[in-house]
Amino acid sequence: RVARRQRQMCIRDRSTGVDKRFINHLPLDIRVVINWHLNDVDVELHVEDPMNEKCYSFHNSTKLGGLLSKDSTALGPEEFVLKRAMPGTYRINAVLFHCSNHDQVQKELGTVVNVTATLQFGTPNEVSRTTTFRLSKPKEYYQVGFITFR
């Protein structure tokens, strides 16, 4: 009886099939997503805010409200989000933190990494930029770029 009532309450979006109760408009000032192409490789996303506070897997929330998703050692993604950004420069970096199959990484000449940075995510003013690069050495630190938020 309870299960039948829950099914009746579940109204699905026609285009996605997702329960409409789980669909919300969540605009963000800044969103950064990183993923890579090799399994058993851990690429870390690091975002440093204008207050020089770094957000990364071992410090995944900031005083300004930045949040980093759970660490992924599969193919990603990892995601940094900030609902209300403080004006200033946000630095985006990637680190090849760990690779359990170093021989495969060397054979492939590194892992291909994609980073997409989006300003005003989920709004009509949304602007995204994507960059692709390779990381091949453990602990290699790559400066992806920066966002200046006004």
Are 27 and 123 in contact by the 8 Å Cβ rule? The answer is yes
The three-state DSSP-derived secondary structure of 51-86 is CCCEEECCECECCCCCEECCCCCCCCCEEEEECCCC
Query: What global pTM score does this model have?
Result: 0.80
Find all residues with CB under 8 Å of 59, minimum gap 6, and list them.
Answer: none
Instruction: Please tell me the distance from the alpha carbon of residue 80 to that of residue 46, in angstroms, as a whole number.
Output: 9
Q: Per-residue pLDDT for the chain (150 aa), expressed as one digit of tens each?
A: 544 444 555 666 677 777 776 667 789 999 999 998 776 778 899 999 999 999 998 999 999 999 998 876 666 789 999 999 999 999 999 998 765 555 555 555 778 899 999 999 999 999 999 999 988 777 878 999 999 998
Residue 132, classified by CB atoms within 10 Å of its CB into exposed (0-12), middle (13-18) or buried (19+), is exposed
Instruction: Please tell me the distance from the alpha carbon of residue 146 to that of residue 49, in angstroms, as a whole number.
Output: 10
Tokens 């900030």 found at: 82
Query: 78: number of CA atoms within 13 Å, CB side?
Result: 26
- Choose among 136, 52, 50: nearest CA to 94: 136
The pair phi, psi for residue 57, each rounded to 5°, is -60, -30
